[in-house]
Amino acid sequence: MPYLKIYIHFVWCTKNRYPFLNTIESRQFVWNHIKENAKQKGIHVDFVNGYEDHCHCLISLGINQSVEKVMQLIKGESSYWINQNPDLFPNLKGKRFEWQSEFFALSVSESILKRVRNYIKNQENHHRKKSFGEEYDKIREVFFFIRLKSDEI
């Protein structure tokens, strides 16, 4: 029996970073739906949260799952569901909801799972101080720094 323990922190945005999810209620509808839909598809969502224009999702990959397939299933189905339930999303106003096709995915060491969960959990407070663009730049900066350090080894 194979054993796999790989955690991935996914982040993706709404199309053109439009703030479709501009209320706490609308975000909660989407995060809950993502968890339920993922569970039905055998995807283990450890934690999900985000802000008005993006989503963070910590997932433990299953033995037959790839990063690309998991994102396809979660993003595709959730955007379909949002468009089928426009009354739950006041900021749609006749627009079609879409996620951007791009995303990023970072592997997460088991030793920092608690910190990553806490980071995802605190998105509401976090984005009162910092925009998603600033957050994204910081993540890229940290990733680049880690890559530079690993090249020295």
Tell me, yes or no, whether 142 lies in a domain: yes
Largest pairwise CA distance in the chain: 54
Are the C-beta atoms of 117 and 9 separated by less than 8 Å? no
Question: What is the rounded distance in angstroms from the CA atom of residue 36 to the CA atom of residue 78?
Answer: 10
Any idea what the CATH number is for the domain that residue 111 is in? 3.30.70.1290
Tell me, yes or no, whether 133 lies in a domain: yes
pLDDT of residue 67: 95
Tell me, yes or no, whether 1 lies in a domain: no
pLDDT of residue 92: 87
Instruction: Give the CA dihedral 84, 124, 24, 30, nearest 10 degrees.
Output: 20
Tell me, yes or no, whether 78 lies in a domain: yes
User: How many domains in the chain?
Assistant: 1
Question: What is the rounded distance in angstroms from the CA atom of residue 115 to the CA atom of residue 84?
Answer: 35
Tell me, yes or no, whether 104 lies in a domain: yes
Tell me, yes or no, whether 25 lies in a domain: yes
| Token output for 101 | 């096709």
Are the C-beta atoms of 22 and 91 separated by less than 8 Å? yes
Question: What is the rounded distance in angstroms from the CA atom of residue 34 to the CA atom of residue 75?
Answer: 9
Tell me, yes or no, whether 44 lies in a domain: yes
DSSP code at position 56 = E
Sites in the chain below the pLDDT cut of 50: 144-153
Tell me, yes or no, whether 92 lies in a domain: yes
Terminus-to-terminus CA distance in the chain, angstroms? 35
Q: Work out the number of other CB atoms within 10 angstroms of the CB of residue 59.
A: 24
- Residues whose CB is less than 8 angstroms from the CB of residue 93 and which lie 6 or more positions away in sequence, other chains included: none
Range of the domain at 116: 6-151
